[in-house]
Structure 1
Amino acid sequence: MACRAYDRMEPLRDGTVRPGGAELNFLDLPVEETFFRMLRFGEFDIAELSLSSYVLTLDRGAPFVAVPVFPSRAFRHSAIYVRADSPLTDPAELAGGTVGVPEYQITAAVWIRGILAEHHGLGVAEVRYRTGGLDGPGRVEKLALSLPPDIEVTPIGSGETLSRLLLDGELDAVYSARNPGPFNAPDGGGIRRLFPDPEAVERAYLARTGIFPIMHTLVIRREVYQRNRWLARELVKACERAKRAGLAGLGETASLRYALPWLWAEVERTRRAMGEDWWPYGLEPNRPTLETFLRYSHEQGLAARRYDPEELFAPETLEEVVV
């Protein structure tokens, strides 16, 4: 199993939680490495995978079967970057401009484009897209794309990076799940986020839509799944137990579990905004989020058709066992 050792996955890595009937060799790898190795070579029996990339595999031989476990979720209004001296403060002002994205099909970019089109008046085809490595040259699309003619996507040069092109004024913005390298400097390195107060925008989006965007899902290599159909449900059960164990005590004040002095306050704010289970697994609690993403993927020329959420997951994981 290749997956980052997130707090909600750490009990699977350290063995305190085990799926029934299986022993995991847990590989804690950077997500880009896991995605590349799984999509190109199918190296792992179980892997964390980009939701967008997984959807694109469904009409390309369907080599994987997902379970409704979502290791990574994130609001993405905060993932839009411009130069510090840019006059832009509203996404609609990007119309006619050029935007960098590591890959057109990455999940974060699908969410950003969809949200900006639906809620901020910037159509998907109203900007030109340049793809390539954020801080290191040479990144290419992991999956071949066949896009509508009104969507312009061009790779950057083999020695170029999106961060450098943004600073040099050749890009108007960058959509990136990771912070551009220069942004991590104390002074922001000449880069800022597009929204002056992205947290407020993200909280308003949550209040308006109820959506907490899903980034990654968990997949099983299809031949492994077909030989062991029981594994899908046992994996979901184990991931639920791991999540409960990993998040237990997150807001504890007696002794701080993490080196963040006001984490307890953030936990309380999150509970007020999102309820006790703010990171839900399973199909039904996530249906509106999945339906929205699948609509965006199809509208942006990625998914061959508009899939229903049920089509993404192993059928054994879709119904509760009633006793």
Structure 2
Amino acid sequence: MSRIPLTLACWDYDRTQALADGSVRPDGLDLTYLCLPVEETFFRMLRHREFEAAEMSLGSYVTNLAADPDGTAFVAIPVFPSRAFRHNGIYIHSGSGIEKPADLVGRTVGVPEYQLTAVVWIRGILADHHDVPVSSVKYRTGGMHQPGRVEKQALNLPPEIDIAPIAPDRTLADMLVTGEIDALYAPRMPRPLLEGRPEVRRLFADPRAVEEQYATETGIFPIMHVVVVRRDVYEARPWVAQSLFAAFEQAKALTESRMSETAANRYMLPWQYDEVERTRRVLGPDFWPYGLERNRATLEVFLRYAHEQGLTARRLAPDELFARETLESYVI
């Protein structure tokens, strides 16, 4: 019986390697795995619907779904290929006088796009845990290292959000160096920090300690990306959602089984064994779960943030995000 061809655009993750190299094959599907940078995948999927399935920014997907729940072009499955703590993604101009999170109030902050998942998490965490209301900051959008970046989707934000694009020939990284913006919220590390420029530093001097404390107190390991199937593909063959979900689970399990290998290091991390043990002590033995129920609390927080920040007119429920076939399983 022939398999149905399906193209999946996704980055080069260890937890998806088995899908990329074909050692895990989704039932009934002939998978073509396109390994693309995440920003390119998001742009091409949101603007042009180029792929049958793709990883997508959780913020972009939620914004798209809330804008038109009956006509949205995508259906998600509860697979989360990217998760990251984001306290480390708050960068400040060294001469701004910002020493603690509350000092951000009233300041001008650069964000590549308002709806970026990482930025949604940062704004929400600062509001919930550090007394920095979302509307207390002026947001300036644009490219980090190349000028001309714009929002991938149209946004209808409340009037209390002060947001404007930077000049089309400027970049946020340069403006952070010069002090034209006081801070930057971003998923990527700005080049000036990588280059050791003294004008730029992180807000939190020891972000890992802050992130571990946050994880211990909240139980949250922030979700960044989800996997979506184009709606026309899903409606023609609803079984595709479950087939992909199972394959992603298998691929992740293979990676997890290799993480504790000590005979030969798979990655260029000399203390990988210690890193794995430390992570499991903080986050638990299965710290990267797929599926709805084990991620429900984290998704509820993100969906609250999206609503509070003006990205959704109403607060969505986690169950609304995913193909119904992936939310239950048969029992023998």
Q: Tell me if TM exceeds 0.5.
A: yes
User: Of residues 228, 246, 254 in structure 2, which corresponds to 1:245?
Assistant: 254
User: How large is the Cα RMSD of the aligned pairs?
Assistant: 1.0
User: Of residues 123, 138, 157 in structure 2, which corresponds to 1:113?
Assistant: 123
Cross-structure match for 2:284: 275
User: What CA distance in whole angstroms lies between the structure 2 residues aligned with 1:78 and 1:147?
Assistant: 26
- Structure 2: where are the runs of 5+ without partners? 1-7
1:198 aligns with 2:204: no
User: Of residues 167, 170, 176 in structure 2, which corresponds to 1:157?
Assistant: 167
- After superposition, the Cα gap between the structure-2 partners of 1:166 and 1:240, relative to the gap in structure 1 and judged at 3 Å, is same
Cross-structure match for 2:4: none
Cross-structure match for 1:285: 294
- Once the two structures are TM-superposed, the CA of residue 2 in structure 1 deviates from its matched residue by 0.2
Cross-structure match for 1:223: 232
Q: How big is each residue's C-alpha offset from its partner over 1:118-142, in whole Å with a ceiling of 9 and x where there is no partner?
A: 0000000001000000011010000
User: Of residues 107, 112, 136 in structure 2, which corresponds to 1:126?
Assistant: 136
1:174 aligns with 2:184: yes
User: Of residues 241, 246, 254 in structure 2, which corresponds to 1:232?
Assistant: 241
Q: Is the 8 A contact 2:95 2:179 kept in 1?
A: no
Cross-structure match for 1:303: 312
Cross-structure match for 1:25: 32
1:93 aligns with 2:100: no
Secondary structure in 1 matching 2:10: coil
1:56 aligns with 2:63: yes
TM-score of the pair, normalised by structure 1:
0.98
- Structure 1: where are the runs of 5+ without partners? none
Q: What residue identity is the alignment partner of 1:120?
A: H
Identity %: 59
TM-score of the pair, normalised by structure 2:
0.95
Q: What residue identity is the alignment partner of 2:295?
A: N
Cross-structure match for 1:139: 149
Secondary structure in 1 matching 2:47: helix
User: Of residues 59, 76, 89 in structure 2, which corresponds to 1:66?
Assistant: 76
Q: What residue identity is the alignment partner of 1:249?
A: R
Q: Is the 8 A contact 1:89 1:196 kept in 2?
A: no
The number of residue pairs the alignment matches comes to 322
Q: Is the 8 A contact 2:109 2:184 kept in 1?
A: yes
Q: Is the 8 A contact 1:82 1:194 kept in 2?
A: yes
Q: How big is each residue's C-alpha offset from its partner over 1:247-274, in whole Å with a ceiling of 9 and x where there is no partner?
A: 3222322111111101110100111111
- Once the two structures are TM-superposed, the CA of residue 86 in structure 1 deviates from its matched residue by 4.0
Cross-structure match for 1:42: 49
Q: Is the 8 A contact 1:7 1:247 kept in 2?
A: no
Q: How big is each residue's C-alpha offset from its partner over 1:138-166, in whole Å with a ceiling of 9 and x where there is no partner?
A: 10000011111100110001000000011
Cross-structure match for 1:258: 267
